[in-house]
Amino acid sequence: MTFKSIIDEIENNLHKILDMLDVSDIPFTVEPAKPGFGDVSSNIAFLLAKHMKKSPQDISITLSEKYSQLNNTLVSKVESHPSGYLNFFADWAKLNQLILSESNLEEFGSVDLGENSTIVVEHTSVNPNKALHIGHVRNIIVGDVISRILQKANYNVNVLNYVDDSGLQVADILVGFKHLGFSQEPPEGKKFDHYCGDDVYVKTTEKYEQDSSLEEIRKNVLKELEEGDSETAQFADKITGKVLENQLETCWNLGVTYDCLNYESQIIRSGLWSKIFEKLKEMKLVEFENEGKNSGCWVIRGEGKEEDKVIVRSNGTATYIAKDIPYAAWKLGLLEDPFHYKKYQKSQTDTRILWQTTLDDSDEPKQNFSGEKVITVIDSRQARLQKIITTLMAKFKSKSDAYVHMGYESVTLSPDTARTLGLDTEGKQAQMSGRKGLYVNADSVYELLKNKTIEETSKRHPEMNESDIQSIAHQISVGTLRYEMIKQDLDKIIAFDLTKSLSLEGDTAPYIQYTHARAARIIEKSGGTPTIDVDFSLLQDPNELNLVKLIGLFDMQVRDAAKNLSPKVIARYCHDLAVAFNSFYEHVKVLDIEDKNLEKSRLCLVQSFKLTVERSLGLLGITAPDKM
């Protein structure tokens, strides 16, 4: 039982009062109260004002009198506020016991929003022609965190990574290797994905401006890529496979894992497009143009002032969207699965098996990675394309929210961070462009964060051995990078700043992690193991009760984050927990007090905070070290 227990009790009793008043269909709310409004408050009096033709304050007085006559377990008293709100005060002795006892259970914070239904989350989906840069990290972390939150909300989640191994950017590095003489081996000490992005890709695209004949070569390479059985396609599989392996190593280092890799080249060769195209024509979702600029093309009509979208050109070739539509339908299980499956050649950092699709025969059993609903994490610049796919899938599935695009804005580097990483931006934020070579790869940012953390940890803990320092530095660096990617609203551009993100004060991962370490230190110094066999009524200080209340809100935060697909909700909750604990730490003494029963009760509260902040950080993929 959590803080929602008192909210449920209040809602039930208010419905009983509405029945007494012979009133129905009043959409009132019952919420944790703001300071000065008790522990819980309701707006019910405002909504009844028109019906009862009285002021909200007069109605709230009547409601408080009636409420006091009902059976209450967790409410000690109810009051009418002069503003008209109805305020409720908790019986904290009982609520403390409910919340702190349940916080020790493994399933604490879980909610049953998904009812074990299957949902697909697709994220990462980066061209395998370069290393992942800091902008890609936002996609990766947003997708991973949403997957974790949905699992906590009782969804069966399939996590997919779409490997775009047949597009122009792949063709570009193939031109570099096959026609411009770039070695297939990177310089010593350089990862292959860094080499492909920093050297082959950038320098090849520069050559196009100097030698126009390369454009025709590129066009032919792209054509051979899509044919599938050409020598070029086989060479591409080798090159993109090596880049993908390095990209996955970066993801695994950040604590991100997947269920299945899906390859664009296989979707093109699978015949899925022809099947979905026939369905589109049958359902009259595409039209053939007989005149105008799109004459001879199949198009999807634009809505309002939007232009029509060509999906099949007059020469019979499909456009880019023709790859995404069948993949979207496959994810929803709307098409027969043409793929076989095999295990990826390397193991992930957790126990999850990583499968990959193949068009070749396989001895492995058939897998099913489709879902009743799909969430695809793609940046906001793809909004038009994703809107078309979302609309089509809604019509195929007869369900408006069957396919959801989670858009997000870009990541820039602050001027100071750009300078630290060797980019001269003339005092402006650095916008990244892989084609121009203006980007900072994720590995470099991680290493810089880690080196700074090692330096600071070594100063604070000269007694700590090298292995422990390395482990803590990794946890803090990954936590920092992940937290910075999800603490903002998705529609806000992130200006990533190395120095600010590592601060032990303010809205940062190290601040929250340090607070957890502080709680761990208190428990360590106590010399024992906290239990729930304590007198909960002794916890009466406002700082204690505020912390208990926040701990009790965990499941409500999970529900909110899952329902609204908002990772920021959990990030904000982690920070609020840390702020509340630090206030408790400053104002309330836990150890070495005369009342040993009170000490036990406070240690129980410290343990509950420690467990709750660990679990909430876990939803963000962030580890909470015991020492920092």
Judge residue 391's burial from the number of C-beta atoms within 10 Å of its C-beta, 0-12 exposed, 13-18 middle, 19 or more buried: middle
pLDDT-above-90 percentage for the chain: 75
Of residues 294 and 417, the one with the higher pLDDT is 294
- At residue 119, the pLDDT reads 98
Phi-psi bin for 164: left (phi > 0), alpha (psi -120 to 50), beta?
A: beta
* DSSP tag of 464: S
**Burial readout 215-226 (b: 16 or more C-beta within 10 A, e: otherwise):** eebbeebbebbb
pTM for this prediction: 0.93
| Structure tokens, 376 | 């695809």
pLDDT > 60? residue 434:
no
Of residues 262 and 421, the one with the higher pLDDT is 262
What's the one-letter identity of residue 234?
Q
Q: Could you report how far apart the first and last alpha carbons of the chain are, in Å?
A: 33
- At residue 320, the pLDDT reads 78
pLDDT > 90? residue 59:
yes
pLDDT > 80? residue 540:
yes
Q: Are 247 and 133 in contact (CB under 8 A)?
A: no
pLDDT > 90? residue 298:
yes
Rounded to an integer, the average pLDDT of 158-180 is 93
Q: pLDDT digit string (tens) for 368-379?
A: 999 999 999 999
Rounded to an integer, the average pLDDT of 211-222 is 88
Mean pLDDT of the chain: 92
Report whether CATH 3.30.1360.70 matches the domain 4-90. Answer: yes
Mean pLDDT is lowest, of 125-129, 498-502, 568-572, for 498-502
List, as one string, the DSSP characters of 245-259: HHHHHHHHHTT---S
State the pLDDT confidence band at 432, using cuts at 50, 70 and 90: low
- At residue 179, the pLDDT reads 92
Of residues 271 and 405, the one with the higher pLDDT is 405
- At residue 250, the pLDDT reads 98
Task: Please choose, from the candidates 461, 455, 452, 459, the residue with its C-alpha nearest in 3D space to the C-alpha of residue 501.
Answer: 452
Of residues 501 and 444, the one with the higher pLDDT is 444
If you compute the radius of gyration of the chain from its CA atoms, what whole number of angstroms results?
28
CA distances from 329 to 18, 308, 406 (A): 47, 21, 17
Residue carrying structure tokens 């076989």? 340
- At residue 35, the pLDDT reads 85
What's the one-letter identity of residue 113?
L
- At residue 47, the pLDDT reads 94
Rounded to an integer, the average pLDDT of 135-142 is 95
| Structure tokens, 300 | 């999807």
- At residue 439, the pLDDT reads 67
- At residue 333, the pLDDT reads 95
Judge residue 61's burial from the number of C-beta atoms within 10 Å of its C-beta, 0-12 exposed, 13-18 middle, 19 or more buried: middle
Task: Name the helix (H) or strand (E) containing 88.
Answer: strand 86-90
* DSSP tag of 318: B
Task: Please choose, from the candidates 533, 527, 543, the residue with its C-alpha nearest in 3D space to the C-alpha of residue 589.
Answer: 543
pLDDT > 70? residue 203:
yes
Q: pLDDT digit string (tens) for 555-604?
A: 999 999 999 999 999 999 999 999 999 999 999 999 999 999 999 999 99
Q: Are 519 and 581 in contact (CB under 8 A)?
A: yes
Q: Are 111 and 62 in contact (CB under 8 A)?
A: no
- At residue 430, the pLDDT reads 65
Residue 212 CA to residue 276 CA, distance in Å, equals 37
Q: Are 312 and 365 in contact (CB under 8 A)?
A: no
Beta strands in 344-381 (DSSP E): 355-358, 373-377
Residue 349 CA to residue 322 CA, distance in Å, equals 34
- At residue 209, the pLDDT reads 84
Residue 13 CA to residue 74 CA, distance in Å, equals 12
pLDDT > 80? residue 506:
yes
- At residue 98, the pLDDT reads 96
Residue 48 CA to residue 50 CA, distance in Å, equals 6
Residue 101 CA to residue 556 CA, distance in Å, equals 17
* Ranges for all domains in the chain classified under CATH 3.30.1360.70: 4-90
pLDDT > 70? residue 214:
yes
Judge residue 251's burial from the number of C-beta atoms within 10 Å of its C-beta, 0-12 exposed, 13-18 middle, 19 or more buried: buried
Judge residue 616's burial from the number of C-beta atoms within 10 Å of its C-beta, 0-12 exposed, 13-18 middle, 19 or more buried: buried
Q: Are 116 and 156 in contact (CB under 8 A)?
A: yes
Q: List beta partners, residue 61.
A: none
Q: pLDDT digit string (tens) for 451-475?
A: 999 998 898 888 989 999 999 999 9
Q: Which residues contact 190 (CB under 8 A, 6 or more apart)?
A: none
Q: pLDDT digit string (tens) for 247-294?
A: 999 999 999 999 999 999 999 889 899 899 998 999 999 999 998 899
| Structure tokens, 442 | 């994720």
